[in-house]
Structure 1
Amino acid sequence: MVTALLGRRLSVLLAIGLSITANELMVQREDALDSAVNAALFAAVSWTIAEVCRRLGGALRTARALSRDLAMREMLLDTILTSVPVVTLDREGRTQRVTPAAAAVLGVRRDEAMALPFHTLVPGFDDLALESARQGGEVLTPSPGSWTVSRADASPVPLTIHANVLPDDIWPEHVVLALADQSQAEAIRQRERDLTERLNNVWRLNSMGEMAATLAHEMNQPLTAAAVYLHAGQADLAKIGPAAEEAARALDLARIQLLRAGDIIRRMRELLSTGSRTFTEERASQMIQDLAPVFTLIGRDTDVVIDIDADTEDDHVMADRIQLQQALANLVKNAVDAAMGREDGRVLITGRSLGPEGYEIAVEDNGRGIPMDQRESIFHPMTSTKAGGMGLGLSVTRSIVESHGGALTVGSSRLGGAAFTFRLPHRSELDAA
């Protein structure tokens, strides 16, 4: 038996032969037939026992191998279940098993979820959904479009739920639910929507760029003609005498604005053709004061008081005068729109020298202000808070300010509304940059 458990068949035969030889030497037999019968019986019984022992040893080795394989499979299954969000339900819809991954998705502790109705973990999982789960496949989604789980530490998590039915002899589990967190997929879909919207905006901006180039080419001639006619009108009014001075002054202001419009168009054509701007040394306070007549007319038409308070000391900057005045005019128009309709509508334009840090210009109003969550998006092209707005004013204004080495920011005003602020570097700072 020991030889059969430890050795091969040849070893067993050798052990049987040695045992028979030892038996013949130690035990006296009556004759040769008796010795042969005893040897044959011993050999048959020994061989049978040896084969049984060999089979038993093989069975034990197979059992140990199966046990190891089963243990490995259980470890693999436990590892898989730990990383996969799986929930099992009984026939009444109560939770029986929750994997750690499922508990993380649902935002609960595993011990808290046990034996609770699943609809307490996933709102809306009613009897109809449970019946759908018993059919297998993807569980019908609720009317809003997806299952959602509200967690205290995060925003609602969208889920998809797939179900499989267990055999009837497995108790108490009856239905296996596989949960899939759709947050990342939803984020990808949102990024795709954002990218599509940006591509549409780029297409619209390109179209508007082509239109701007055409307008810059076509509008220059009629504006020049209008300026000539205004000059002729001024000459005719001068013949009338002092009675026409007020009208002549209005025509002079109109002629100045026409010439300014012509400069804007000329600069636009230069920018479109060469992509460059021309900077000259300017006084920031003077650029603000030059727009005072325009602001006065705007305030008169809208019943909004527009005040200017600009320091004249240390205000020398390098700037594209026309472009910067265009940016300032855009900010003032937006501020007037925000303050318009109030009994005490007010806009304040301030200019302050900050020494080495540059010259700061701020446009404030006492309107409703701009919410914190919109203070960055309002600078995006095609984004407007005004009905009929094209969403280009602030985008263009920010581009102009940034081209001058500054940064346009928005915050809360001392007047109660919004405050748009930017700084222009002094001449030495821009040269160094």
Structure 2
Amino acid sequence: MAINDVDPRDDAHSLEQALLGSILATVPDALIVIDARGRIISFSSAAQRMFHYSEAEVLGENVAMLMPSPDRERHDGYLDHYRETGEKKIIGIGRLTTARRRDGSTFPIELAVGEVHDQGEPLFTGFIRDLTERQRTERRVQDLQAELSHASRVTAMGTLAAALAHELNQPLTAIANYMEAGRDLLAQDGAIDRALLGEAMDEAATQALRAGEIIRSLREFIRRGEADRQPETVSTLLSEGVALAFIGINSRGIDMDIAVDPRVGRIMANRVQVQQVIINLVRNAVEAMEGRPMRILHLSATPDEEGRVEIIIADSGPGLDPAAERSLFTPFSTTKPTGMGVGLSISRTIVEGHGGRIWTTRSRWGGVAFHFTLDPAD
């Protein structure tokens, strides 16, 4: 071949490389490529901006450095398990989880993992989307949704209150009338007509039972709207719940950890409802730790003495005031200047609807530890 001759295949290859480089430099999602041992072999420009590491600082390092606990400690085991069994846990499946920046702060991400082979050796590609990048838009949408939701709640509560007042008015009025009649009988001079007094008391008791039945019927009506429960993996519920809770809030400087006892299997739960409990408790913990020099958030799951699964969400906040603790789960009771005081009440309703219970203790760091129990699926 002459010196000036150019193989068209070389031009095509160069064009492909340039095109690939341009895509990787401009795509908003981070791309990380690791080898079979978890070592980083490619770290895109978006990944450098997202994690605050340069490519030179991470090449050859274990990708676990970009993960919070417990994924950081378990990642190599996941790779070993896949090499030995071929069982895919997250490959080809998108999932919500959390990642760890250079400064130690954690943030919610959407992760998609793929697999390719290079000369027979597996490589794993991870596309990562930082969910906090959409905070500004989502906050505005959430504000609008909150306003609409508030208006809807007020309307619904007004309708419910009117209906309930209408249904209860008759038995309550009857109770008042019978009690007044009994009082008048007792106030009369002379012998008391015990038969008439007994009849008035019997009728008052009957109407009181009727009022209670109206309340029970309303509760049954609400319960029929509950979603079905299915076996759910506790670690997934916790990791996804934390990721969702971190959307739109300041998680910088929080030392977050998730620890699930190996004896804990799956639980019977409505995933959306239980994750709502986790979101409520995590957000409360983050708000309580705002401005604190030490911000520790620890989530754990262990089997309790009764065979249930006990989930604990503990923080290093200032703890609870004894006066506030007594009404902690009471609806419309709150210490927040802008809160409605329904989050913990809803959480208790969800947990008790699952057959569990929820309570608080002092955490090992002086903050609050919320405990709640759920039934195992196995």
TM-score, reference length from structure 2:
0.42
**Larger % of helix: which?**
1
TM-score, reference length from structure 1:
0.37
